[in-house]
Amino acid sequence: MSSCKENKKTKEDKTNQTSEEKITKTISEEKIDSVNQLAARQYLTMAEKLEKNRYPKTFYPENNEFESSNSGWWTSGFYPGTLLYLYEETGIDSLKIEAERILKDLKQEESNTATHDLGFMMFCSFGNANRIDPKPEYQEILMNSAKSLATRYNDTVKAIRSWDSASWNKAGEDDLVVIIDNMMNLELLFWATEHSGDSIYYDIAVNHANTTMKHHFRKDYSSYHEVIYDENTGAVKKQITNQGFADESSWARGQAWGLYGYVVMYRATKNDKYLEMAKNIADFILNHSNLPDDKVPFWDFDSDKIPNDLRDSSAASVMASALLALYEFTNSTEYFTAAEQMLKTLSSPEYLAGQGELGGFLLKHGVGNMPNSTEVDVPLTYGDYYFIEAFHRYKAM
Ligand code: GLY
């Protein structure tokens, strides 16, 4: 690996940790096990209904409509990823068998260079498969996926292109669009450098995160959803939203992607500036006057309908998982307590599906794309994935 790594520190260096603060877990092992058992039953029911090579997206309870996608949709990796976490938690073999079945189809996306979502698609799926049961074939798929993602890097802007230019994302021909969500794809690149010894993936991830830090964030550490750069000069042309309430608002899931992304950056580089960034984002979220006491955010922190607006359970799932990881790096009980509250709320009947409900999904009340009126107040495959991941982290603590 090259020397371009930024201030890489050893794992032992914990200068950022505050003094040890003891936590007491208030969610019982029995409760966690019952959530995982319910989830396993739900996902195995869902598996029976899935058509060949289709991937769960959402479910519309009012007309009992199950929506699926093909392998190329950005959410395809969450289904096998959730199955694999649940297999680890329950030991039920059929969960692993179903994950392996769908992975055979998902493999084709390793050469997809038309999307930035390869981290979501391939790392949540093959990354978990390889973590549980390391295999050369998984590693080859992950390497190929990282190579495909790296083709979207622009060294003038020093960022990975998220969406190709289009009128719907308000970008023209010479524009390069980066959305905050793209921070979630960097973990795949770090894995690729770790695995191959080639620093190019690491360097792309670091450059992308640094560019995002500079241009996606406001002074209060809230973030824009979409930044449009001039691909020839790297100049910022627009800071706007696509899925949020307004250009200057704080779209809840976007804040969650940013938080999770900078926790990953710290884990991978041990550079303190990323830990500071993650803490600042967490503090923005947790101190926001519009964050309800139960800690499940409204779909946008600045929606003009608050308090009479929809929550986004998927944003809470992502936040809970990220805050638990952040707690481990900081020992700050505030992060642990907030994550725990999110998990308690999400596993209450208000949010958690009953057995046989919701087409096999777990969490009610997710908001996919409010401005587009799609996937509003429904379960979302990524909400389920990060919910189960958060419990996995919580249990291991
Ligand atoms: N990455 C797309 C979303 O968060 O909806």
Which candidate in 175, 181, 377, 384 is catalytic? 181
User: What integer pLDDT is reported at residue 165 of this predicted model?
Assistant: 87
Pocket of ligand 1 contains residue 57 by CB under 6 Å = no
Terminal CA-CA length for the chain: 31
Of ligand 1's atoms, which has the minimum distance to the CA of residue 369?
5
Average pLDDT, integer, range 185-203: 98
Average pLDDT, integer, range 136-158: 98
> Phi first, then psi: what are they for 198, rounded to 5°?
-90, 120
CB distance 271 to 265 below 8 Å: yes
Expressed in percent and rounded to 5, the helix, strand and coil fractions of the chain are: 50, 10, 35
Nearest to 328 by CA among 32, 10, 20, 113: 20
Which one of 162, 253, 373, 380 would you pick to mutate in the ligand 1 pocket, going by the greatest count of ligand atoms within 8 A of its CB?
253
Pocket of ligand 1 contains residue 392 by CB under 6 Å = no
Largest CA distance in the chain: 57
On the question of pLDDT at 3 being above 50, the answer is no
**pLDDT tens, position by position, 362-386:** 999 999 999 999 999 999 999 999 9
Q: Give the integer Cα–Cα distance in Å for 52 and 55.
A: 9
Average pLDDT, integer, range 17-29: 77
What is the Cβ-side half-sphere exposure of residue 231, based on CA atoms within 13 angstroms?
A: 17
Three-class SS of residue 131?
helix
According to DSSP, the β-strands at 153-154 and 159-160 are antiparallel
| 203: annotated active-site residue | no
Which one of 74, 226, 319 would you pick to mutate in the ligand 1 pocket, going by the greatest count of ligand atoms within 8 A of its CB?
74
Beta strands in 38-138 (DSSP E): 55-60, 65-69
User: What integer pLDDT is reported at residue 314 of this predicted model?
Assistant: 99
> Phi first, then psi: what are they for 375, rounded to 5°?
55, 55
Which candidate in 117, 175, 203, 377 is catalytic? 117
Q: Give the integer Cα–Cα distance in Å for 184 and 117.
A: 8
Pocket of ligand 1 contains residue 253 by CB under 6 Å = yes
For the chain, give me the number of helices (H) and strands (E)?
Answer: 13, 9
The answer to which of 168-177, 309-318, 321-330 has the lowest mean pLDDT is: 168-177
Of ligand 1's atoms, which has the minimum distance to the CA of residue 254?
4
| 117: annotated active-site residue | yes
Question: Which two structure tokens, joined as six digits, stand for 48?
Answer: 């029976």
The interaxial angle of helices 186-196 and 252-269, nearest 10 deg, is 20
Of ligand 1's atoms, which has the minimum distance to the CA of residue 253?
4
> What is the band of 22 on the pLDDT scale with cuts at 50, 70, 90?
confident
Q: What is the CA radius of gyration of the chain?
A: 20
On the question of pLDDT at 54 being above 50, the answer is yes
Residues 6+ away with beta carbon under 8 Å from 92: 40, 44, 86
Three-class SS of residue 178?
strand
Measured between alpha carbons, how far is residue 153 from residues 147, 176, 177, 242, 342 in Å? 10, 10, 11, 22, 35
Mapped to the 3 state alphabet, what secondary structure does 118-173 carry?
Answer: HHHHHHHHHHHHHHHCCCHHHHHHHHHHHHHHHCCEECCCCEECCCCCCHHHCCCC
Which one of 115, 177, 257 would you pick to mutate in the ligand 1 pocket, going by the greatest count of ligand atoms within 8 A of its CB?
257
Of ligand 1's atoms, which has the minimum distance to the CA of residue 181?
1
Give pTM, 2 decimals: 0.94
Of residues 14 and 151, more confidently modeled? 151
User: What integer pLDDT is reported at residue 8 of this predicted model?
Assistant: 35
Residues in the chain, how many? 397
User: What integer pLDDT is reported at residue 1 of this predicted model?
Assistant: 32
Task: Summarize the annotated binding site for substrate as residue ranges.
Answer: 117, 181, 241, 253, 257
What type of residue sits at position 36? N
> Phi first, then psi: what are they for 178, rounded to 5°?
-125, 130
**pLDDT tens, position by position, 100-111:** 999 999 999 999
Q: Cis ω on the peptide bond leading into residue 307 (within 30° of 0)?
A: yes
**pLDDT tens, position by position, 201-257:** 999 999 999 999 999 999 999 999 999 999 999 999 999 999 999 999 999 999 999
Average pLDDT value for the chain: 94
User: What integer pLDDT is reported at residue 135 of this predicted model?
Assistant: 98
Share of the chain above pLDDT 90, in %: 92
Average pLDDT, integer, range 187-193: 98
